[in-house]
A and B are shown apart, each in its own frame.
Chain A
């Protein structure tokens, strides 16, 4: 039996999917691009341009497709999806790389203490109603006290004590606090000079010009008194002095005096006003106050050392 025919046809078929070139083709599958680094053959170029270009392209695309079809695939509704490797050729980006967001104060603290982020569910289980309710928003769990029809009033409450109003105010205060902290984080992220007038170059220039003009106007011997006035020129206005009212409530006066006294009297107050040292992630003063239950650091140290000595004595006696 002569199989040479079959073999030859098979070889022809097989050859058609492989490409033999002097220098192997440079395939970048990530960008679906193939670069043929072989010099162009002058004879075939001159004899029939279109055919030459098409055969060149066919060879290149054949080798690109061979590497494409050997990639691992995922199946999808539209057909197999080839998983492309990252591209080799570097193309310039259209926009700069995104800047990482500066961490919020809480994120800094959480990172320092190793606190993992926990995602809270939007819904919360209501034991009484035996169903899932919104944590906030419409019929939110956080508004439960405000909306329930009967609420317990503490024993020593005022006559006009309104538990619904109190609960509502507490909730509003929480929201306001959160908003304030958010604004603080935004301001910190923007850096020290955050106001619009400081950053906008036009505003800056305007400010500068006004400043130098006003200083030029009072720079003559008479401080600008006998200068020729231009039409429409305005008088320079300085800072207006302000006085307190002659008669004030006693409360105001008392508060002002107390504030002054406390400022003068104690060094402790001064140190508190100074920015905390260290990395600023943990408020050490607050932590000590919390741990010692308001007794202070010395009391905390005394307590820990005293406790241990007592135990030691007990051991000796035994």
Chain B
């Protein structure tokens, strides 16, 4: 367990305060870890992915004997990850590990509250680095746009996890505003055509379609309307990957991690949260409501009282007269 430190001066106190949980979180820092053996391909992949992730990235230059999926040996599995996460205030890991059985493996690890939330391993099959494309590159630190193409990203649990993981990795920061000229590049993740035999139960990695990760820079051309026309230029890196091992998130922990802060009164008035019927805010900022009245019972409507219109039952005296 990491020692809890009491800050001794104002500077370290500020640092520790910045690490405290926040309502709107900062961007997740990723640590790039090399396993016992990484080939040339993996080194290139990790270097380029780090270039995309920068500045919220930390690189571990030394080799580490780490096997996150190997739960039998706890000393080399997740405990070191948790230690590093605490030390560096990071909540994402990218572990590169290449061996004969699983060549060019990349393991994405996502943390929650200093513990491992879920893990995902992909094998890199094809890789073209950023330097191989002689095209303009994006500025480090700019937010990418993300594009996912395939119906499996909405239906298949493995690909849903992949989508969520990659979004956390590249784009997981909530921002209220973005500078439009600052939008420079796209990370596009697309799948091979879905094989007809695939369903959610068949989980063998061979039957899962390939994943293509491409990065492009954006050129905006004028279209005569307010919305510009988009042209893409390959930027690199481009990766072709297959899904391998994975570990889904613990249900209880995921529930904790998906908790949202309570909505502010102002946000509720803007129409967030629970759906509110019959209420709207008009242009002046006033809250206006519509009230619905049920159907009126017209038979009980009080009209003008006249002697002749009165029912017989209402005048018992008269009825007794007629009956006798």
Contacts and interface: CB of A to CB of B under 8 A. Distances in A.
Contacts of A96: 21, 112-113, 256, 259
A40 B198 CA distance: 14
Contact of A54 (B191, B214, B260): B214
Contacts of B234: 50, 54
A122 interface: no
Nearest to B23: A98
A191 interface: no
Given A31-B171, A54-B216, A36 B150 contact: yes
A33 B168 contact: no
B236 interface: no
Contact of B145 (A56, A61, A69, A82): A61
Task: Give the interface size bracket for B toward A.
Answer: 35 or more
Contacts of B153: 35, 37
B25 A32 contact: no
The binding surface of chain A is classed by DSSP as: mixed
B193 interface: yes
B226 A70 contact: yes
B148 A57 contact: no
Interface string A25-41: 01000111111111111
Nearest to B256: A96
Interface stretch (A10-18, A132-140, A270-278, A301-309): A10-18
B268 to A, nearest CB: 12
A92 to B, nearest CB: 4
Interface stretch (B47-55, B174-182, B299-307, B310-318): B174-182
Contacts of B164: 89, 91-92
B218 interface: yes
A184 B259 CA distance: 32
A83 B180 CA distance: 10
Interface centre among A73, A78, A81 (most CB of B within 10 A): A81
B177 A13 contact: no
A41 B192 CA distance: 9
Contacts of B176: 83-84
Given A81-B180, A92-B112, A92-B168, A58 B225 contact: no
B214 to A, nearest CB: 5
Task: Give the interface size bracket for A toward B.
Answer: 35 or more
Given A41-B193, A92-B117, A79 B28 contact: no
Interface in B71-94: 91
Contacts of A61: 145, 147, 186, 188, 216, 218, 230, 232
Given A96-B256, A97-B23, A98-B20, A78 B227 contact: no
Which 8 pairs from chain A and chain B are nearest by CB?
A: A92-B257, A94-B91, A57-B188, A36-B149, A79-B181, A95-B21, A60-B147, A33-B146
Interface of B: 20-23, 25, 28, 91, 110-113, 117, 143-151, 153-154, 163-164, 167-168, 171-172, 174-183, 186, 188, 190-194, 212, 214, 216, 218, 220, 223-232, 234, 249, 254, 256-261, 272
Interface of A: 10, 13-14, 16-17, 26, 30-42, 45, 49-50, 53-54, 56-58, 60-62, 64-66, 68-70, 73-74, 76, 78-84, 86-87, 89-99
